[in-house]
């Protein structure tokens, strides 16, 4: 039997915990409430208990990976802070959890985990480079380059939602103006439409509502512009659209493909595939984190014999 890996997706409301094999085959999973207000140790204890219960059925995992909302300090192995986990400041999260589980424990940005999951077990299988956009409340991003996750100098790479589209645009929570997520996130679509959520806006557009279609076009245009700019730097084989709004399906996908095509050098565009994510949204976070732990635990054995990362 091959190795098993434990993955954890720590969100503001729920923690999703699962066990998979090294190809992403799902063996077991559970969701528990985060209750982050009780503090990190309480949440970590309940996560570890739930993980032990899954592993009683699946067998023991070799390593654990956690997908977390940033910013992370990978060098100090701390979660600096997280908007959806109030009061969690400079938490030595992987060590707290690793102490309870007794296996090597890693953390990574949640959108990076989603990108890695699509690369190993989703639509990106067989590619060597992909760029993933998570289109939800905000916009996250993850980069796989030459078969490895690209996290940048200290873990800050892939913030695709904060690419500046218009320096005079609407203010963003990051402190800048006119970031991509002010135009192409589910929040931006819902705000501009003003009659419901992003999903309702897409449904209305498909049903022939011209106002809703204009909002979809506006968001798709911005996303296509962001993607076209990114491709001039990275020219990845594949661009993956993930998150709640990507699940709106072919309407957004077709508009984004057309928008990117118009803005890219034709010879380059021919070699870029733009696809919807395949790993289900409920599994994307924990599965990608588990598969990232599978990657890290071997790299760690080779490159970092004395200290955990
Ligand atoms: Zn921003």
Q: Are 142 and 253 in a shared domain?
A: yes
Cα 69 to ligand 1 centre (Å): 15
Cα 180 to ligand 1 centre (Å): 7
Of 59, 84, 109, at which residue does a domain stop? 109
CA-CA distance, 167 to 100, in Å (whole number)?
Answer: 46
Of 82, 109, 136, at which residue does a domain stop? 109
E strand intervals along 199-282 = 238-242, 273-276
Cα 199 to ligand 1 centre (Å): 23
Tell me what pLDDT residue 305 has. Answer: 41
Cα 49 to ligand 1 centre (Å): 37
Cα 27 to ligand 1 centre (Å): 37
In a domain, 302, yes or no: no
In a domain, 200, yes or no: yes
Number of domains in the chain: 2
In a domain, 295, yes or no: no
CA-CA distance, 30 to 79, in Å (whole number)?
Answer: 23
Q: Are 129 and 233 in a shared domain?
A: yes
Q: Are 242 and 212 in a shared domain?
A: yes
Q: Are 77 and 200 in a shared domain?
A: no
Three-class DSSP category at 134: strand
Q: Are 82 and 196 in a shared domain?
A: no
Q: Is the CA virtual torsion 261, 161, 113, 151 positive or negative? A: positive
Q: Are 127 and 96 in a shared domain?
A: no
Q: Are 272 and 147 in a shared domain?
A: yes
Cα 71 to ligand 1 centre (Å): 13
Cα 119 to ligand 1 centre (Å): 26
Of 84, 109, 134, at which residue does a domain stop? 109
Q: Which domain holds residue 221?
A: 123-276
273, containing H or E segment? strand 273-276
Pairing status of strand 273-276 against strand 139-145 = unpaired
Q: Are 56 and 169 in a shared domain?
A: no
**DSSP per-residue string spanning 69-90:** -S-EETTTTEE---TTSTT--S
Cα 222 to ligand 1 centre (Å): 14
- Report the half-sphere exposure of 157 (CA within 13 A, side-chain side): 17
In a domain, 258, yes or no: yes
- Across the range 91-105, mean pLDDT stands at 95
**For position 47, which CATH number holds?**
3.30.420.40
Cα 188 to ligand 1 centre (Å): 12
72, 155 in Cβ contact below 8 A?
A: yes
Cα 162 to ligand 1 centre (Å): 4
**pLDDT digits 0-9 by tens, 203-233:** 999 999 999 999 999 999 999 999 999 999 9
Query: Among residues 220, 256, 226, which one has the least CA distance to residue 159?
Result: 226
pTM of the model: 0.93
Judged against a pLDDT cut of 80, whether residue 6 lies above it is answered with yes
Q: Are 267 and 145 in a shared domain?
A: yes
Contact residues for 303 (Cβ-Cβ < 8 A; gap 6+): none
Stretch among 10-19, 63-72, 237-246 having the lowest mean pLDDT: 63-72
In a domain, 285, yes or no: no
Of the ranges 108-112, 117-121, 149-153, the best mean pLDDT one: 117-121
Q: Are 96 and 168 in a shared domain?
A: no
Tell me what pLDDT residue 154 has. Answer: 78
Query: Among residues 267, 273, 306, 289, which one has the least CA distance to residue 120?
Result: 289
Q: Are 105 and 150 in a shared domain?
A: no
Cα 187 to ligand 1 centre (Å): 13
In a domain, 100, yes or no: yes
Cα 70 to ligand 1 centre (Å): 13
In a domain, 309, yes or no: no
In a domain, 305, yes or no: no
201, containing H or E segment? helix 198-206
Q: Are 130 and 103 in a shared domain?
A: no
Cα 87 to ligand 1 centre (Å): 22
CA-CA distance, 198 to 191, in Å (whole number)?
Answer: 9
Tell me what pLDDT residue 306 has. Answer: 40
Cα 93 to ligand 1 centre (Å): 26
Degrees to nearest 5, angle at CA 67 with 108 and 35: 135
Q: Which two tokens stand for residue 168?
A: 């005079």
């Amino acid at each position: 039997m091959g190795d098993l890996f434990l993955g954890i997706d720590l969100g503001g409301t729920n923690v999703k915990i699962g066990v998979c094999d090294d190809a992403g085959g799902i063996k077991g999973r559970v969701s528990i409430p985060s209750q982050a207000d009780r503090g990190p140790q309480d949440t970590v204890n309940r996560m570890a208990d739930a993980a032990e219960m899954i592993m009683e059925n699946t067998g023991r995992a070799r390593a654990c990976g956690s997908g977390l909302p940033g910013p992370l300090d990978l060098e100090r192995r701390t979660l600096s802070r997280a908007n959806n986990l109030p009061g969690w400041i400079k938490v030595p999260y992987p060590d707290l959890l690793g102490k309870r589980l007794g296996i090597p424990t890693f953390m990574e940005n949640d959108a990076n985990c989603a990108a890695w999951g699509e690369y190993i077990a989703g639509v990106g299988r067989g590619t060597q480079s992909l760029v993933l956009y998570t289109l939800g409340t905000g916009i996250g991003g993850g980069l796989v380059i030459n078969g490895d996750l690209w996290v940048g100098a200290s873990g800050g790479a892939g913030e695709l939602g904060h690419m500046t589209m218009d320096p005079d645009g609407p203010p963003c929570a990051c402190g800048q103006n006119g970031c991509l997520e002010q135009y192409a996130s589910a929040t931006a679509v819902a705000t501009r439409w003003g009659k419901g959520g992003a999903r309702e806006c897409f449904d209305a557009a498909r049903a022939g509502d011209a106002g809703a279609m204009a909002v979809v076009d506006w968001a798709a245009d911005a996303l296509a512009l962001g993607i076209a700019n990114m491709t001039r730097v990275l020219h990845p084989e594949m661009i993956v659209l993930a998150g709640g709004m990507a699940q709106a399906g072919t309407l957004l996908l077709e508009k984004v493909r057309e928008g990117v095509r118009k803005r890219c050098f034709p010879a380059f565009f021919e070699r870029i595939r733009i696809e919807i994510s395949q790993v289900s949204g409920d599994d994307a976070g924990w599965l990608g984190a588990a598969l990232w732990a599978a990657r890290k635990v071997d790299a760690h054995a080779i490159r970092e014999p004395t200290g955990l990362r």
